[in-house]
Amino acid sequence: MPVEELEDRVILTDANDSSTKLTILKFGATIISWHHKGQEKLWLSQAAKLDGSKAVRGGIPLVFPIFGKQKDASHPTAKLPQHGFARNNYWEFLGQTKETPSTVQFGLGPEQLDPDTRSKWPFDFTLILTISISQDKLHQHIEVENTGSTPFEFNWLFHTYYRVDDITDVLVNNLVDITCFDQLIAEQYTEKSPVLSFHEEFDRIYKNINQNRTIQIIDKGKVLYNLHRTNLQDSVVWNPWTAKAAGMADFEPKDGFHNMVCVEPGHVSSMVVLPAKQKWSGAQEIEIGGEIKVQANIFE
């Protein structure tokens, strides 16, 4: 059965391979599991709340309308919690839209927000999330519509937690020469490492990455994942490491940071300005396997 709706989640199965499927929680429209040929590809904390009490620690939480915390106290997003409200509200399951690839949609609007959030961000909007699964690919497309009469500004980000065997063997490819803001030292610089490696806490926002760049997650010489982006100019790369993992109550096991890396495509280095009655869209496509492709010297 390509689509199975349960009370709190939807199971989306590849039309051609029953061992490839997604589990999507209606809370936050959060993908909490991606079984590819029976093997789990996403990291989910053993202490992740799946009951709607807080945003899911792991899988692919959705960040909107603000990434992080808004620093400008006068900005309409200033009163919102870290990473906004999309990941901690129930989305409406809109059904299956395509058989091959198996495709479903979820929607979020003001009517689904709690009154407190609504009062803090009083704009009229519609989010339509389209998720599809096929062979070696997971595709997520987001459409943001301003249905109101005044412009609003937002960030968008797919906060993707990838599962890896051992983070110290992992390399992230094709971010060399990209400007990044290092959240740990609050400094901006140009990435000079041909590939990123992980041996301590890592938290950087890579900015204005040419769409032709495929960000690759490589493990012991094998490509695990290729990240293709549409209209998502930035990508955050994060691993909490020991101290930050210890400080998150819903991050378990505490040494689980060894088995995950976040590579998070989005538009977060500036605010997207969406005029009244206009739409914006972006997409990520995660493709498994393939060859290492070095795109260090593309002329942008």
Q: Taking CB under 6 A as the rule, does residue 267 contact ligand TA6?
A: no
Give the pairing of strands 137-146 and 202-206.
unpaired
Q: Match 């960000």 to its residue by tokens.
A: 215
Q: Taking CB under 6 A as the rule, does residue 288 contact ligand TA6?
A: no
Q: Write the DSSP symbol of residue 81.
A: P
Which of 82, 230, 242, 270 touches ligand TA6 (CB under 6 A)? Answer: 82
Which is closer to ligand TA6, CB of 128 or CB of 209? 209
Which is closer to ligand TA6, CB of 82 or CB of 210? 82
DSSP strands (E only) in 64-147: 92-98, 102-108, 125-134, 137-146
Which is closer to ligand TA6, CB of 82 or CB of 212? 82
**Could you say which residues in the range 141-180 bind ligand TA6, by CB under 6 A?**
159
Of 35, 141, 159, 258, the catalytic one is 159
Quick check: helix, strand or coil at residue 115?
Answer: helix
Q: Taking CB under 6 A as the rule, does residue 183 contact ligand TA6?
A: yes
Which is closer to ligand TA6, CB of 124 or CB of 191? 191
Alpha-carbon distance values, 87 to 9, 31, 91, 166 (Å): 14, 11, 9, 27
Alpha-carbon distance values, 256 to 32, 90, 246 (Å): 16, 27, 10
Which is closer to ligand TA6, CB of 108 or CB of 237? 237
Residues in the interface with ligand TA6 (CB under 6 A) total: 11
Exposure on the CB side of residue 15, measured as CA atoms within 13 A: 10
264 is catalytic: yes
Alpha-carbon distance values, 273 to 101, 120, 154 (Å): 32, 18, 7
Exposure on the CB side of residue 18, measured as CA atoms within 13 A: 2
CB of 125 to ligand TA6, least distance (A): 21
Which of 68, 110, 148, 290 touches ligand TA6 (CB under 6 A)? Answer: 68
141 is catalytic: no
Six token digits for residue 5: 């709706």
Q: Taking CB under 6 A as the rule, does residue 264 contact ligand TA6?
A: yes
Which is closer to ligand TA6, CB of 15 or CB of 78? 78
CB of 134 to ligand TA6, least distance (A): 27
**Could you say which residues in the range 203-222 bind ligand TA6, by CB under 6 A?**
203
CB of 250 to ligand TA6, least distance (A): 8
Residue 163 assigned as binding residue: no
Residue 57 assigned as binding residue: yes
Which of 9, 36, 41, 83 touches ligand TA6 (CB under 6 A)? Answer: 83
Residue type at 21 in one-letter notation: K
Distance, CA of 298 to CA of 300 (rounded, Å): 6
ω into 61 cis (within 30 of 0): no
Q: Of 89, 98, 99, nearest to 125 (Cα)?
A: 89
125, 150 in Cβ contact below 8 A?
no
Six token digits for residue 26: 């209606």
Q: Taking CB under 6 A as the rule, does residue 236 contact ligand TA6?
A: yes
Q: Taking CB under 6 A as the rule, does residue 295 contact ligand TA6?
A: no
Residue 229 assigned as binding residue: no
Binding site for ligand TA6 (CB under 6 A): 55, 68, 82-83, 159, 183, 203, 236, 238, 262, 264
Annotated binding site: 57, 82, 87
Annotated binding site for substrate: 57, 82, 87
Residues with catalytic function: 159, 264
